A and B are shown apart, each in its own frame.
Chain A
């Protein structure tokens, strides 16, 4: 079991460090460069500019149905005038290997159409008996609405190429992504993005969200490289929103993801 865990960890790390962008985004194939959501903090922080009240969110992802291997995250978004301030914490790993990230982001709405964000992340990797290491990375993101139906987004992650190489060989991905969000109708949202991570191929992602009932959404998505099929749903009861997702990796299997948002 431990052996499998380690394979999983390194398989993941060789792609990019674990990043839980919330169950909504996960269900949408993570094609969320142009998505407006408090969880955007983890992919393109410009997306948090859309929130209008304070939102607190918790997320949990179990990797490949292995109860020992999971990611836990907490997020807070606070709108202050034209700005939205976001804070995030994330913990990933098993007792023998732990990866923790804390981030702070500031997103500004310049008009109804444009928002730009800057975020800073603190990463720590610790392996008992070997020690721990940490570093800081910076991300930049923006979103622009061409009209009331189409929004474009782009994000640059870790342009400074910070790394935590020595201990684990783990890399904080340096990448760029561009994406679009298209309101196909008042009930259907279409998302697509293209990402390039340095030293790793290109990825094309696609997601679709369907508001089947007023407070119930169905979601599905595809990621091309690594290939993943994803799906999920989301409920909203007043101030509370619950989202669930599952993603399927051809070799490693299923990963369920759950998140809970509370709007103050």
Chain B
């Protein structure tokens, strides 16, 4: 393999960070990371790759996918990966990323045989991970077990993962997890780990395309009605704005909320496919005072305190329905219908802004989605209806108006009373409802070295929102310029401005404009074959109404070591941050052990340090160790509730072992 582990982690980091502009701790991209890792291990042959397979590499835009396929059709099979450079729709970045996940194999190639051999066998992959915060956190040391912030389990995090595949058609997967503070015991009717997830899946080439029993995820259309797992929104990349749905796939993440449990299958007949699905599982919820109605679903997946354990699996959720699709070369049309039913009804919201929230126990969703390629344009959209309540709709157009110029326009209109429990569509709010907006983006490659990506998004919220006591509007402007004079050097500068309305600080009422500006400059360069360096400086300015502006500052120094012959690879980060508070916090993606990642917010004043190492113990055994610490300059405690630490430092250690056999 030409690309080593750490370099690849850097690529994954770049991809995720460019796709997910507004990310925070609660987004779960582990499925996507695992998907890309799989393609790294078994790269896609660009000469046989189908549209669906290329769509799995979610950072490529639909126009780019089309241009790769057209190139192959017009010029015959690829001879070398460098041929990608002659496809004008592909920018340097995308090519560089793509090279990590594809190979060029021609029929009759010697490598083709060994490639096939590699696939046609059964493989086991077992991974164990342990982690713990090293400082004393109050939740673990409280004497009163009934106190609100008291955790019932130990501070250690444990995770075990097992994957099995027989050739490329049969797969099995098991995930087991225990978060910090959750009990690990087999007594008192406890079942060891806090969370288990497993599935068996079959992938076929005939009429039966996919069958999954166990935990699975569904992604249809643009995610307005059914999208389990994270989806990208407004990113620093054209590819992020049009979703590529993958339909049915095995669930592999440890997020305890967004998945389905039951049985589902995809059947294909000529150009038609149908995916019926059934799911029944218990989920966490908290209740209204009378305990007879749900006040909200609990999505954190934590079961540490008495209340969290009480809310665990409190409601049963049943989902069933089907998706039908027509797939032609240029056209894809799909219809999705499903019912979500809870054992206990949802309560009416207490406040005015919750007036249009879902109430009752049964929700029916119906949605239609399409995508159509015409010459250099890609039309896509979805309209979804929650029966007896509202509609939500989005329509997008990506056009490549010149070889190096692409334009995106996206209109969205989500009614305030639109509901879906699996709604993950592009939106400014956390949920695609109560929002209207128009997004336009432009990507230009001026020459081989300079690239620009910019967008403007204007949005309105017709109904009230949390902390916004009136209809409001806002906008977002984004511009990114990259300069890549050679393979060793990359300079990136990025500006983003967001303007929204929020309740004023005083109680007189009315809304204030909240303006947040963010400037980032990042430098990546290789100093030798083994060492790469990255510097980042980020400044945030936040202003609410006529109050004084607040500022946040972050500076990062990364060193990445990765030597071809060496059994060791690793990276180190040192960062200094100084932000005035929560509103000026700065998020940064952090490297972690394989398949794991974190996106902490740097907030307050202090320094951050981490070191990641990977040791290749044998051909089939790998060991990862990560140590991370954050130390604050002017704080005497860190965190709150059960996470409270008396002191100004918080360190975390993580060990991961992987065996492949």
**Contact surface of A with B, Cβ cutoff 8 Å:** 182, 184-185, 187-188, 190, 206, 208, 210, 212, 220, 222, 224, 227, 229, 248, 250-251
Contacts and interface: CB of A to CB of B under 8 A. Distances in A.
Interface residues of B, number: 20
21 contacts: A184-B444, A185-B404, A187-B401, A188-B405, A190-B405, A190-B444, A206-B454, A208-B401, A208-B442, A210-B402, A210-B407, A212-B401, A220-B407, A220-B409, A220-B440, A227-B456, A227-B458, A229-B458, A250-B458, A250-B460, A251-B473
Contact of B402 (A188, A206, A222, A251): A188
Interface string B402-445: 11110101000000000000000000000000000010101010
A222 B444 contact: no
B405 A184 contact: yes
B475 interface: yes
B477 interface: yes
B248 to A, nearest CB: 38
Interface in B436-491: 438, 440, 442, 444, 446, 454, 456, 458, 460, 473, 475, 477
SS class, residues of chain B in contact with chain A: strand
A210 B440 contact: no
Given A208-B407, A250-B458, A185 B475 contact: no
A206 B407 CA distance: 13
B403 A185 contact: yes
A210 B401 contact: yes
A106 to B, nearest CB: 34
B442 A206 contact: yes
Contacts of A229: 438, 440, 456, 458
Contacts of B456: 222, 224, 227, 229
A185 B446 CA distance: 10
B405 A224 contact: no
Contact of B475 (A188, A190, A220, A227): A227
A185 B402 contact: yes
Interface string B47-87: 00000000000000000000000000000000000000000
A217 B458 CA distance: 24
Contacts of B401: 187-188, 208, 210, 212
Nearest to B460: A250
Contacts of B477: 222, 224
Given A210-B401, A212-B401, 11 more contacts: A184-B446, A185-B404, A187-B402, A188-B401, A220-B409, A222-B477, A224-B477, A227-B458, A229-B438, A248-B438, A250-B473
Interface string B336-364: 00000000000000000000000000000
A220 B473 CA distance: 22
Contact of A184 (B404, B409, B454, B458): B404
Most buried by A among B404, B456, B475: B456
A229 B477 CA distance: 12
Contacts of A210: 401-402, 407
Contacts of A220: 407, 409, 440
Nearest to A224: B477
Given A206-B454, A208-B407, A229-B438, A184 B402 contact: yes
Contacts of B473: 250-251
B446 A182 contact: yes
A203 to B, nearest CB: 12
A185 B404 CA distance: 8
A229 to B, nearest CB: 6
B179 to A, nearest CB: 43
Nearest to A186: B402
Contacts of A190: 405, 444
A208 B407 CA distance: 9
A222 B454 CA distance: 11
A206 B444 CA distance: 13
Nearest to A218: B401
Nearest to A210: B401
A59 B560 CA distance: 60
Contacts of B409: 220
A206 B479 CA distance: 11
A72 B519 CA distance: 41
A227 B459 CA distance: 12
B616 to A, nearest CB: 47
A127 B580 CA distance: 51
A187 B376 CA distance: 14
A220 B405 CA distance: 14
Given A206-B442, A222-B440, A227-B458, A250 B405 contact: no
A184 B442 CA distance: 12
B604 to A, nearest CB: 31
A70 B400 CA distance: 36
A83 B367 CA distance: 61
B405 A185 contact: yes
Contacts of B460: 250
Interface string B301-331: 0000000000000000000000000000000
Contacts of B407: 208, 210, 220
A52 to B, nearest CB: 26
A188 B401 CA distance: 7
Interface in B370-404: 401-404
Cβ-closest 3 pairs across A and B: A185-B402, A188-B402, A210-B401
Contacts of B404: 184-185
A205 to B, nearest CB: 11
B69 to A, nearest CB: 22
Nearest to B473: A250
A163 B456 CA distance: 34
Contact of A250 (B403, B444, B454, B475): B475
B359 to A, nearest CB: 32
A188 B454 CA distance: 16
A194 to B, nearest CB: 12
Contacts of B440: 220, 222, 229
A242 B151 CA distance: 72
Contacts of B497: 224
Interface in B467-521: 473, 475, 477, 497
Nearest to A207: B442
A250 B456 CA distance: 13
Interface in B511-570: none
Contacts of A224: 456, 477, 497
A258 B485 CA distance: 44
Contacts of B444: 184, 190
A187 B407 CA distance: 14
A73 to B, nearest CB: 27
B511 to A, nearest CB: 13
B376 to A, nearest CB: 10
A227 B437 CA distance: 14
A206 B404 CA distance: 17
Nearest to A188: B402
Contacts of A187: 401-402
A192 to B, nearest CB: 9
